[in-house]
Amino acid sequence: MGSRSALLVVAIASSMGCATARIHDERSAAPSSPSAPVIAVPFHAQEAYECGPAALAMTLGWSGLEIAPADIVGEVFTPGRKGSIQTDLVAAARRRDRVAYVVHGRDELLAEIAAGNPVIVLQNLGLSWLPRWHYAVAVGHDTTRGAFVLHSGRDANRAVGEATFAHTWRRADEWGLLTLPPERIAATADEQRWLAAGVGLEQAGRVQAAGAAYGAAIKRWPESLAARIGLANVEYAGGDFAAAERSLRSAIAGHPTAAVAWNNLAQLLGERGRKTEAIEAARRAVALGGPDIDVYKDTLEAIERR
């Protein structure tokens, strides 16, 4: 093998995988044009295959958590796959009290960037039959040059042309991830989507953060029944029964026919020894019925037995 082909082998080997051991990169040398507003996201150059931990450390850093990629490798990286799978990023964000919010498609990506929310994007930099999966962080969109601005691999603020980005992102199903402070509702969120993201925090056992996400939802969508039920649930889980009762009563004030609110109030009152009130609330839930009627009946029965 001649020295020239040996060089090629080295070039290929070094560019495979998300290692991106880029020795020189003309594109990164040119800073993005001053006209492009770029979100202030702390940059971490990735080590070896660790684009997942690096990307997550960057968006967590933006969200106010100073963290090094090395600190989260254990939570994000899967040795057997020499990489990070999407759900591991989701789980790790939640474990750090951040709302993991998934976006799809160009419109949502642009809306979040415009709102100042950096987005972790999964790209396939190779081909469908020769994939090279990579995580980068989209921090800006340069309309004048027709490029996305990415923190990627070893390059901060790297401009990647619209068409090239579109190809590499489409091969990864145009998947993007936001890691938001729980008070900061995503630009593309509606009530249902935001609350579903909040449920993820509750599932992860991060009840304080989940409560903050539900609280933000109540401010944005004051009519929301699910947000109040959610807030009451996390207050109950945290042992703040007075607050939970207030949340449930305010849910009932806005939605007097919501059986679930009556049921949860009955359960709470029953546990606090307020039997008469509890039975009355439980009877309301049973009378209103719905898909969870069996649960309501159980609640009533349990309280009557107390």
25-54 residues near another protein, rule: CB under 8 A: 25-28, 48-52
Asked whether position 199 contacts another protein by CB under 8 A, the answer is yes
- Helix/strand/coil (H, E, C) string of 227-270? HHHHHHHHHHHCCCHHHHHHHHHHHHHHCCCCHHHHHHHHHHHH
**What single letter denotes the amino acid at residue 131?**
P
Q: What whole-number distance in Å separates Cα of residue 203 and Cα of residue 194?
A: 14
Asked whether position 8 contacts another protein by CB under 8 A, the answer is yes
Contact 209, 97 (CB under 8 A): yes
Alpha carbon distances (Å) from 241 to 12, 249, 270, 278: 61, 12, 12, 14
Q: What whole-number distance in Å separates Cα of residue 215 and Cα of residue 221?
A: 10
Asked whether position 83 contacts another protein by CB under 8 A, the answer is yes
Q: Which is closer to another protein, CB of 39 or CB of 195?
A: 195
Q: Which is closer to another protein, CB of 116 or CB of 131?
A: 131
Q: Which of residues 39, 103, 138, 160 is near another protein by CB under 8 A?
A: 160
CB of 254 to another protein, least distance (A): 14
Q: Which of residues 36, 38, 60, 90 is near another protein by CB under 8 A?
A: 90
SS3 224: coil
CB of 150 to another protein, least distance (A): 10
Q: What whole-number distance in Å separates Cα of residue 223 and Cα of residue 154?
A: 46
Q: What whole-number distance in Å separates Cα of residue 119 and Cα of residue 176?
A: 6
Q: Which is closer to another protein, CB of 116 or CB of 183?
A: 183
Q: Which is closer to another protein, CB of 115 or CB of 255?
A: 255
Q: Which is closer to another protein, CB of 41 or CB of 229?
A: 229
**What single letter denotes the amino acid at residue 280?**
E
Query: Please, which of residues 243-272 interact with another protein by CB under 8 A?
Result: 260, 263-264, 267-268
Q: What is the DSSP letter of 277?
A: H
Tell me how many residues contact another protein (CB under 8 A): 99
Q: Which of residues 109, 113, 139, 204 is near another protein by CB under 8 A?
A: 204
Q: Which stretch binds another protein (CB under 8 A): 57-65, 79-87, 104-112, 272-280?
A: 79-87
Alpha carbon distances (Å) from 87 to 49, 93, 104, 246, 266: 17, 10, 15, 35, 36
From residue 209 to residue 238, what is the string marking binding to another protein with x (rule CB under 8 A)? Answer: -x---x----------xx--xx--xx-x--
Contact 221, 193 (CB under 8 A): no
Query: Please, which of residues 130-159 interact with another protein by CB under 8 A?
Result: 130-135, 145-147, 159
What's the number of CA atoms in the CB half-sphere (13 Å) around residue 162?
8
Q: Which stretch binds another protein (CB under 8 A): 11-19, 58-66, 104-112, 179-187?
A: 11-19
Q: Which of residues 33, 45, 78, 257 is near another protein by CB under 8 A?
A: 78
CB of 108 to another protein, least distance (A): 19
